[in-house]
Amino acid sequence: MPRPVKWRRIAQMPDHRYFTPEGVEGKSLDENILKIEELESIRLKDLEGLDQESCATAMRVSRQTFQRIYNAAKIKVADSLINGKAIRIQGGNYTRNICLLVCENCGYEWENKVENLKEMESVRCPECGDERVDCDRRFEQDYRENPPERPGMGRGRGPGMGRGRNRRNR
């Protein structure tokens, strides 16, 4: 089973979500879908002028992940500009806020994005099933002010995943 995609932190939602080239009919118009986090990468890198590390920290992803997001966005924008395609901004794997949920019954803690919490009728602790769950706002503030030093790093090293000898090297 693949690992779930990490939420990419964005600072703001776009006001405008659809751009079309001038003089092209709407029905025959091809379009590129630009994800919300791809737009955020362009905003941080090109509009704000931040370096790659600062952009990655702001989005709470690794530098390599940021670069992949940014490169995908540039390809879509270039394709639209050169080939006269529309740009639709939608979807992606993003959040504006992350909340540390704490179960008042058993003390279990876990992170969730605020957008998910708004969609749920009730939040239950995954450990004990209790509904007495609270969002620790101190965590949200601390997360904004002091992001993890190396966010979004890989899965770690398990047996046979290191640089050492493997079956082919024997």
Mean pLDDT computed over every residue of the chain: 79
CATH topology of domain 8-94: Arc Repressor Mutant, subunit A (1.10.10)
What is the reported pTM?
0.65
* 16-47 pLDDT tens trace: 999 999 887 766 789 999 999 999 999 999 99
Tokens (6 digits) for 58: 């702001």
- Strand ranges, E, within 18-160: 18-19, 31-34, 86-89, 94-95, 98-103, 109-113, 133-136
CATH topology of domain 97-145: Rubrerythrin, domain 2 (2.20.28)
Task: List, for residues 132-148, the tens digit of each pLDDT value.
Answer: 888 875 555 454 455 44
Q: Are 119 and 69 in contact (CB under 8 A)?
A: no
Ranges of each domain in the chain: 8-94, 97-145
